[in-house]
């Protein structure tokens, strides 16, 4: 075992599973982030938790720090398209953000038919999005132009497909707001695909969360173009693998989904299988590879108590209530 492997294995015992800062604000715990509200300001702590099929499965060493760094790049490279919610980053795992009223829709943009859409397509259920797809598509085939396949944002259980018409009919968004948000989502995806291509990757699909700040300005929130909300493939092997009908070389959380499905037959129903240390370390390597490709520099892991460092930096930033 080399020094890097030794350090990553040592960090297994120090992952950030959750936080409980009583003097940081009102806490909401999401699948990956612990969010503290202080009036019109949010403190988003990106933990090392990992989820798939909308189920939290465990933790991965350094995941929160890596994810936060990639989200930072995603926000910085798209801020000319739409404002984002970032105010400051006082710790590698933290974003201080302006509070927004999030739309109750996740804007999922897809450039290829794969993943859950392919599974829906195979069983004839893709019509739930209100779009018509050709009958002759092959798995992992590119669309002529990216498509929007929105979903509801479920508090519990799985997000559900929904059509653009149903969003308006159900009063989830006005037609005008939906048109503006959809255009922004497609523009963000175009920028994300260009950024990925410049780093030898294909941005296959992703999801955006959008909302309005207290002044009614549209902002992109949560995270953007990270492996947790996006699917990436290696560009140089795509065509050959597609022609052969082989699985694509992945650089995202789909590696975990594939492990769950292929090894355990798990698709989100019932108790999830326990993550082995082997798969946890493999996924850390995948996140580190993604960090290198998407930020342009290598992630340098340190064995450390993430919670202790986090508490110190939050205190130094004056974020704890006195």
- For 295-315, the pLDDT digits (tens) are 889 999 999 999 999 999 999
pTM of the predicted protein model: 0.90
Question: Could you say which of 193, 221, 244 is where a domain stops?
Answer: 244
Task: Work out the average pLDDT over 12-16.
Answer: 95
Taking 90 as the threshold, does the pLDDT of residue 3 lie above it?
no
Nearest CA among 277, 284, 279 for reference residue 262: 279
Per-residue pLDDT of 153-198, as tens digits, reads 865 556 789 999 999 999 999 999 999 999 999 999 999 999 999 9
Task: Tell whether 164 and 205 lie within a shared domain.
Answer: yes
CATH number at residue 58: 3.30.200.20
| CA max distance for the chain | 63
What is the model's pLDDT at position 237? 97
What is the model's pLDDT at position 23? 94
Residue 14 belongs to some domain of the structure: yes
Kindly calculate the radius of gyration of the chain based on its CA atoms and give it in whole angstroms: 19
Per-residue pLDDT of 40-65, as tens digits, reads 999 999 999 998 888 899 999 999 99
Task: Work out the average pLDDT over 224-228.
Answer: 92
Task: Tell whether 68 and 193 lie within a shared domain.
Answer: no
Task: Tell whether 230 and 120 lie within a shared domain.
Answer: yes
How many domains does the chain contain in total? 2
Q: To the nearest whole number, what is the mean pLDDT of the chain?
A: 93
Task: Tell whether 142 and 231 lie within a shared domain.
Answer: yes
> CB-hemisphere CA count at 13 Å for 43?
26
User: 231 falls in which pLDDT band (50, 70, 90)?
Assistant: very high
Residue 271 belongs to some domain of the structure: no
Task: Tell whether 115 and 184 lie within a shared domain.
Answer: yes
Structure tokens, 129:
């999005």
Question: Could you say which of 244, 267, 293 is where a domain stops?
Answer: 244
Helices (H), the chain: 3-11, 63-76, 115-122, 164-169, 175-197, 238-244, 254-264, 277-295, 306-316
Task: Tell whether 111 and 37 lie within a shared domain.
Answer: no
φ, ψ for residue 197 (rounded to 5)?
A: -60, -35
Residue 258 belongs to some domain of the structure: no
Select, from the ranges 201-215, 247-261, 278-292, the one with the highest average predicted confidence (pLDDT): 201-215
Task: Tell whether 239 and 293 lie within a shared domain.
Answer: no
Task: Tell whether 125 and 50 lie within a shared domain.
Answer: no
Taking 90 as the threshold, does the pLDDT of residue 137 lie above it?
yes
Task: Work out the average pLDDT over 211-217.
Answer: 96
What is the model's pLDDT at position 58? 93
d(CA 184, CA 200): 24
Taking 90 as the threshold, does the pLDDT of residue 251 lie above it?
no
Taking 90 as the threshold, does the pLDDT of residue 104 lie above it?
yes
Taking 60 as the threshold, does the pLDDT of residue 291 lie above it?
yes
Task: Tell whether 95 and 63 lie within a shared domain.
Answer: yes
- 100-131 burial string, b = 16+ CB within 10 Å, else e? bebbebbbbbbbbbbbbbbebbeeeebeebee
Taking 80 as the threshold, does the pLDDT of residue 255 lie above it?
no
User: 133 falls in which pLDDT band (50, 70, 90)?
Assistant: very high
Task: Tell whether 113 and 234 lie within a shared domain.
Answer: yes
For residue 193, give its domain range: 103-244
What is the model's pLDDT at position 157? 54
Question: Could you say which of 244, 267, 298 is where a domain stops?
Answer: 244
């Amino acid at each position: 075992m080399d020094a890097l492997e030794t350090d990553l294995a040592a960090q297994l015992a120090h992952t950030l599973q959750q936080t409980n800062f009583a003097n940081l604000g009102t806490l909401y715990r999401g699948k990956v982030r612990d969010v503290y509200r202080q009036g019109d300001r949010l403190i988003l702590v990106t933990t090392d938790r990992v989820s798939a099929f909308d189920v939290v499965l465990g933790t991965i060493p350094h995941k929160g720090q890596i994810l936060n760094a990639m989200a930072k790049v995603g926000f910085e490279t798209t801020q000319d398209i739409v404002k984002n919610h970032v105010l400051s980053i006082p710790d590698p795992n933290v974003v201080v953000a302006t509070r927004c009223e999030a739309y109750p829709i996740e804007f999922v943009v897809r450039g290829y038919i794969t993943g859950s859409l392919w599974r829906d397509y195979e069983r004839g259920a893709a019509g739930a999005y209100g779009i018509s797809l050709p009958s002759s598509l092959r798995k992992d085939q590119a669309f002529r132009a990216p498509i929007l396949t929105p979903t509801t944002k479920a508090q519990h259980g799985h997000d559900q497909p929904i059509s653009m018409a149903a969003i308006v009919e159900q009063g989830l968004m006005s037609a005008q707001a939906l048109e503006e948000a959809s255009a922004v989502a497609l523009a963000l995806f175009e920028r994300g695909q260009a950024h990925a291509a410049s780093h030898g990757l294909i941005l296959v699909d992703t999801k955006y969360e959008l909302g309005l700040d207290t002044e009614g300005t549209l902002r992109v929130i949560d995270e953007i173009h990270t492996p947790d909300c996006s699917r990436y493939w290696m560009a140089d092997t795509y065509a050959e693998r597609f022609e052969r009908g082989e699985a694509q070389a992945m650089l995202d959380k789909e590696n975990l989904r594939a492990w769950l499905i292929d090894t355990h037959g798990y698709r989100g129903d019932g108790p999830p299988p326990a993550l082995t240390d082997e798969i946890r370390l493999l996924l850390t390597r995948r996140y580190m590879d993604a960090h290198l490709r998407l930020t342009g520099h290598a992630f340098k892991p340190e064995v450390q108590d993430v919670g202790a460092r986090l508490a110190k930096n939050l205190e130094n930033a004056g974020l704890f209530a006195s």
